[in-house]
Amino acid sequence: MGLLTGEALAPMVVAVAIFLLLVDLMHRRIRWAPRYPPGPLPLPGLGNLLQVDLQNMPHSFNKLRHRFGNVFGVQLGWKPVVVVNGLAAVREAALQRGEDTSDRPPIPAREDLGFAPQAQGVVFAHYGPAWREQRRFSVSTMRDFGLGKKSLEQWVTEEAACLCAAFTDYDGRPFSPNRLLNQAVCNVIASLTHGRRFEYSDPFLCKLLGFVEAAGMDSPFLRELVNALPVLLRIPGMANKVLERQKDLRVLLDELLAEHRQGWDPTQPPRDLTDAFLGEVEKAKGNPESSFNDANLRMVVADLFLAGMVTTSITLAWALLLMILHPDVQRRVHNEIDEVIGQGRRPEMADQGRMPFTTAVIHEVQRFGDIIPLGVPHMTSRDTEIQGFLIPKGTQLILNLSSVLKDETAWEKPFRFHPEHFLDTQGHFMKPEAFMPFSAGRRACLGEPLARMELFLVFTCLLQRFSFSVPAGQPRPSDHGVSSFLVSPSPYQLCALPR
């Protein structure tokens, strides 16, 4: 009987193997297209997964760049990916070919989060009318924010003051600033999306940030693996293992949205972005073509809340780390603050134009920290050409922003913290075209103006009030980041002494 079972199974095993081989060949046929970028030879089924460190993809891609040039192709599982490196190639892909390269690839791990099909949001939405409508709405709402009684700049300035008060409570004792920075930036986003802030001890805020911080510690290997081989998500329990913390976050944000909706009055001026979106939902009733619907509201708020919070707080953590590692730079920032603002009033965005060195330092923090080294993946919506290579429709593109921010031909000291990268010979601020931490083109970060405002106001407020130093007796912290999708500073503590 066992022999018969084996004989019966053998043809099935062969058939499955042949089927998988054909599927693999179908997915890799794109590499045989004329003028397709060069790259390492993929293995059946796995592609180049064994040749790429999924826990440090920027490092792997930089090594492949030296072998194959600025535009090369890899196969991640069954997924063909073209990696674009260097200023010229990235600018061509994002700007000159932007109409062809601004789509987003499907992300299987994200699609298992339970959002409705019509809920694309704004960060990961496919390039098309719905994305244009949501991006236009989000950008204009942030630009014109005066929906409530306070402007967005007032919200940021007042939150920076609360953050300074929290730093003062440590009375010069060593502490890690990360949680406080997360709380402050979370409150800025909450003011935009929900018109409110939380006390730093609020249980809801602590729970929310606990989920965010835990999600940041998830293995990037497992996430990238299921995106490369989405069939793995069908394994019982796999989706929960990969997405558990993201689902917890979604539930928590849904609670906040439901509470906010109860207090919404359509007859009153909007208090925040959520109110403005609900107003658009009312206007769009009966219009099936509109992207303003309840399902998309959840996604847009989640996109703005999560994307806007983590990136800015990590950048501020880099800024404070680099100040304790470079006390000479910190002293120059202190001197400029004293000359332009003094100690008698809070910093304002109007001060930035008269503070070239502080502005240069903030930009150099972003360049050196390089927190989103590979950006958010793109996908070609039609056949296109980059640097003479033919990129077929439906190919995922990775714009290696790190290769631009650390380009040895564009920066004098690409691997060192050097604020003079952003100063001319007369000491005036200048921004080289190789500075693109927010990416470029149609898919550039829509929250860039808010992020720039937060970075300047919060950083300047902290440096106005404190001198930061490495705690006595502790070793000098490392300036090497910890890689995941985002690059965070290695854990460190500092002392904040009132000036």
Euclidean distance between CA atoms 297 and 280, whole angstroms: 10
Instruction: Tell me the whole-structure pTM to 2 decimals.
Output: 0.89
Ordered per-residue pLDDT tens for the chain, 499 residues: 444 455 555 555 555 555 555 555 555 555 566 789 999 988 887 888 888 887 888 999 999 999 999 999 999 887 899 999 999 999 999 999 999 999 998 876 666 555 555 557 888 888 999 999 999 998 888 877 654 556 889 999 999 999 999 999 999 999 999 999 999 999 999 988 888 899 999 999 998 888 777 655 555 566 666 666 666 666 666 666 666 667 777 788 888 888 888 888 888 888 888 999 999 999 988 888 899 988 888 888 888 877 888 899 999 999 999 999 999 999 999 999 999 999 999 999 999 999 999 999 999 999 999 999 999 999 999 999 999 999 999 999 999 999 999 999 999 999 999 999 999 999 999 999 999 999 999 999 988 989 999 999 999 999 999 999 999 999 999 999 988 778 999 999 999 999 9
Burial class (CB in 10 A: 0-12, 13-18, 19+), 485: middle
pLDDT at 268: 87
Angle, CA 319 vertex, CA 313 and CA 325 arms, to 5°: 140
Q: Which one, of 284, 116, 285, 262, lies nearest residue 194 by Cα?
A: 262
pLDDT at 8: 54
pLDDT at 110: 62
Q: Which one, of 196, 160, 186, 184, lies nearest residue 271 by Cα?
A: 196
pLDDT at 30: 57
Residues 6+ positions from 113 with CB-CB distance below 8 Å:
243, 246, 247, 250
Q: In whole angstroms, how large is the CA radius of gyration of the chain?
A: 24
C-beta of residue 249 within 8 angstroms of C-beta of residue 212: yes
Q: Which one, of 166, 199, 160, lies nearest residue 464 by Cα?
A: 160
pLDDT at 323: 98
**Phi and psi at residue 429, to the nearest 5°:** -70, 140
3-state secondary structure of 379: strand
